[in-house]
Structure 1
Amino acid sequence: MEMPRPLSELPKAHLHLHFTGSMRHSTLIELAQEQGLHLPDALKEDWPPKLRATDERGWFRFQRLYDIARTVLQRESDVYRLVREAAEDEAAEGSRWLEIQVDPSGYAHRFGGLTPTLELMLDAAHKAAGYAGIGVAVVVAANRTRHPLDAKTLARLATQYMDQGVVGFGLSNDERRGRARDFDGAFRLAKRAGLLAVPHGGELLGAGSVAECVDVLGADRVGHGVRAAESPRLMELLADRRITCEICPTSNIGLGVVEQAEDVPLRRLFDAGVPIALGADDPLLFGARLLPQYELARQVYGFGDAELAELARQSVRASAAPESVRENLLKEIDGWLASEGPEVPEGAAG
């Protein structure tokens, strides 16, 4: 009898990981202790925190914890460490290409302004890639709660660093506090320059939020997009246009988008032909990195190894990785599927 193939050996791309949220919990604790910073119990003894962001108060608590975590990154060496450790963790889970999402505005006051901050993060990504032996690229993300002109500034900055590792332009934070259409100018700038458009949508709001990202912002991928499952017509559109949804099951559960893992409509979206890239979103706050998302697909959503391989292929196809990298990864995924799973030891339960 064969056991399922090891998911840690399945080559894959990770397209939905936020910079601060990628930090190891142990690193958060260590840096806070070094700097004499107080962390709330939710980030220490009661970690991962119990979150529910479906109302304003819940989102405020989530954002507050995120902002507290950001304060431990005081030195350039902290930035290099965070990205290096994130890349190491990706490599250990079989992730061979990472697109990490950053909003330089959150650190600009600490590292000399927007441009020096982005240059620091890009250099950290370059060094981390070499250290871990994987590809690491950067998505610059605007904040929905700030003025659209700030987003235009970030879009212009992102386009200036396309040859140094910026591959996409995103839009994050609470989608209830900023309509996608308000940021169409910034996305036009980014798309015109050749960046991927990867706004968040369809997490705390429904299918209409996903549709607005697609119709107004020209989304190539949608961050989350899980609520697209509420509209068969929208799922058909996403499938036809090959617009990928970056589904983050553990995040959906942690923020109260769904009550339990079984309620994430991953199977419905996949069966409708919607391209999917599984993501971890913010492991620091949700307690799970990329590999557990694939484990949920196997254990909860009933994906067999051939379907898991297809999920991995979809993540690679939706990435901004160079064509040669994509081709090699797709071949390696085929090799994973063609290999025989480990045998069950004699006498083990069947």
Structure 2
Amino acid sequence: MARPLDQLPKAHLHLHFTGSMRHTTLLELAQEQGLHLPDALVQDWPPKLRATDERGWFRFQRLYDIARSVLRRESDVYRLLREAAQDEAAEGSRWLEIQVDPSGYAQRFGGLTATLELVLDAAGQAARATNVGVGVVVAANRTRHPLDAKTLARLATQYADKGVTGFGLSNDERRARARDFDGAFRIARRAGLLAVPHGGELSGAASVAECVDDLAADRIGHGIRAAESPRLMERLADRQIACEVCPTSNVGLGVAQRAGDVPVKRLFDAGVPIALGADDPLLFGARLLPQYELAREVYGFSDAEIAELARQSIRFSAAPDSYKKELLAAVDAWLAA
């Protein structure tokens, strides 16, 4: 019998705040507020998306913004994080790093600082209730000015010892160069935060290289286009820079035609560390566990290799070293069972 993947201890390092919401919660909150949702978020869910052109990305962002609009009360934030941690626990995830841009909620919750403090408090409560460690990654938006990113980086550093674990850069990488945000990442790195920018999703290998060279990335959000360059894969392997690979998301956005086209095994065999992620389950219809199922059923990973995927997700997380040691031992026990 195959070892149960939901009992494999793992870390989830690529999950966005709004995108972590349960579909049932979206429908319930929208009904409470009398908000009409488009068919793509109701009977046609999960939506059919293709973001490789400008129109497709705009549609993806529009659906994301509609989903964000249902989070209007502080209680909604607490609920979202509690449910996200519960879902992680059910799938065997023992550490979660959830990514949020406080700018998207600042007007609703009293400003950037108040919003981040709300998210951090909700994350702490969720962690205590579920025994899933929860860290918060503050993410800047590529479509906004680099000065906005510096503001967020300074804010993130103030909470570096209070639950903020990293600093990211999200949204359409075709809209701005990573190097434009190097100042913000310098601020974050000086405070000991992990540098976790998106790259190599909608743009090619050069996007990943720029995140490495100009932002000193510790991990790359997605990073799959690194597989287009053997030399870049060698660099990622040599420097042990992890890629947060999200196969279902890659297919959902049209980056890959089907799950089998996502170069997970190629990256793994090249020695590139991989942390599987779900990205935005609310829009792509699958959480973390199905990504591990793909590793087994589509990419042909053995259980020993799947255990190594879990180890890599743990090693490259911001979890405390003592907790990492505990989780790694639990992975070994899963494999030995």
The TM-score by the shorter chain falls in which range? over 0.9
Mapped partners of 1:36, 1:159: distance in 2 = 38
Structure 1 consecutive aligned stretches of length 4 or more whose deviation exceeds 3 Å: none
Task: Give a deviation string over 1:165-199, Cα, whole Å, max 9, x none.
Answer: 00100000000001100000000100111100000
Report sequence identity in percent: 82
Matches within 5 A, 1:194-273: 194-273=192-271
Question: Is structure 2 residue 133 aligned with structure 1 residue 135?
Answer: yes
* AA of the residue aligned to 1:149: L
Secondary structure, counterpart of 1:170 in structure 2? strand
Alignment correspondent of 1:294: 292
Per-residue displacement from partner, 1:183-241 (whole Å, max 9, x unpaired)? Answer: 00000100111100000000000000000000000000000001000000000000000
Residue in 2 that maps onto 1:181? 179
Q: Report Cα offsets for 1:272-312 as digits up to 9, x if no partner.
A: 00000000000000000000000000000000100000000
Alignment partner of 1:170 is 2:173: no
**Rounded Cα–Cα distance in structure 1 between residues aligned with 2:58 and 2:208:** 23
Find the aligned partners of 1:35 and 1:166 in 2 and give their Cα distance.
31
Pair 1:278-2:287 in alignment: no
Residue 163 of structure 1: how far off its partner (Å): 1.4
Shift of 1:257: 0.2
Helix, strand or coil at the partner of 1:57: helix
What is the alpha-carbon distance in structure 2 between the residues aligned to residue 33 and residue 78 of structure 1?
14
Q: Which amino acid aligns with 1:307?
A: E
Per-residue deviation, 1:133:
1.1
The SS at the match of 1:171 is strand
What is the one-letter code of the residue matched to 1:173? N
Matched position secondary structure for 2:276: coil
Q: Distance in 2 between matches of 1:164 and 1:125?
A: 11
Q: What's the TM-score, normalizing by structure 2?
A: 1.00
Partner of 1:82: 80
Match of 2:310 in 1: 312
> For the residues of structure 1 that align with 2:252 and 2:268, how far apart are their CA atoms?
22
Secondary structure of 2:174's match?
helix
Q: Deviations over 1:59-98 (max 9, x none)?
A: 0000000000000000000000000000000000000000
- Separation in 1 of the partners of 2:59 and 2:203? 18
Partner amino acid, structure 2, of 1:86 = A
Amino acid at match of 1:201: G
Choose the corresponding residue for 1:106, options 94, 98, 104: 104
From the CA coordinates, give the structure whose radius of gyration is larger: 1
Whole-Å separation in 1 of the counterparts to 2:204 and 2:85: 33
* Mapped partners of 1:215, 1:67: distance in 2: 32
Is residue 22 of structure 1 aligned with residue 24 of structure 2? no
Structure 1: which 5+ runs fail to align? 340-350
Partner of 2:201, secondary structure, is coil
Q: Which residue of structure 1 lines up, in the alignment, with residue 3 of structure 2?
A: 5
Give the corresponding residue for 1:40. Answer: 38
| SS of equivalent residue, structure 2 residue 12 | strand
Distance 1:186 1:133 in 2: 32
Q: CA RMSD in A?
A: 0.3
User: Secondary structure of the equivalent of 1:320?
Assistant: coil
Q: Equivalent residue of 1:307, what SS?
A: helix
The residue that corresponds to 1:51 in the other structure is: 49
